[in-house]
């Protein structure tokens, strides 16, 4: 998977400072192959972006969108299109969904891989 090596240090910083929603989905669903034994990575550089979570076996990117994403939807659309150009599936959840409906997020993720 191509990536900008300059993003590696920033990805490492992001992993050490997750948002509350990123932390919740990581510990409750994705960490240690909890999700149907699939391995997810946090803050993975891909192309010129750092994605929140990535599963190479499924070629699946999961993004957790905070309030700032509503300010520039065109950026997210473009970013999703570029990632899909690498034959990746991109799924987005809002901070609110993760913090207040983690069971629904889990159910939606499970539906997507079945």
Closest CA to 66 of 82, 56, 52, 48: 52
Please state the domain extents for the chain.
Answer: 1-72
Give residue 73's pLDDT.
84
Does the global pTM surpass 0.85? yes
- Residue written as tokens 């993004």? 63
CA-derived radius of gyration, the chain: 13
* CA distances in angstroms from 12 to 6, 7, 68, 97, listed in the order given: 11, 9, 21, 25
d(CA 28, CA 102): 8
Give residue 72's pLDDT.
78
**H-type alpha helices, the chain:** 7-16, 20-25, 73-85, 95-100, 102-113
Mean pLDDT, contiguous 10-residue spans, the chain (114 residues) = 95 97 98 96 98 98 81 88 98 97 98 94
d(CA 13, CA 26): 16
Q: Are 103 and 93 in contact (CB under 8 A)?
A: no
Give residue 1's pLDDT.
87
């Amino acid at each position: 998977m191509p990536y900008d090596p300059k993003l590696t240090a920033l990805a490492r910083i992001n992993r050490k400072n997750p948002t509350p929603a990123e932390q919740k989905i990581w510990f409750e669903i994705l960490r240690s192959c909890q999700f149907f034994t699939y391995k997810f990575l946090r803050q993975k550089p891909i192309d010129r972006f750092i994605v929140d979570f990535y599963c190479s076996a499924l070629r699946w990117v999961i993004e957790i969108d905070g309030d700032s994403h509503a300010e520039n939807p065109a950026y997210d659309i473009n970013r999703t299109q570029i990632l899909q150009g690498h034959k990746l599936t991109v799924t987005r959840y809002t901070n609110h969904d993760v913090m207040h409906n983690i069971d629904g997020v889990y159910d939606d993720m499970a539906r997507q891989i079945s």
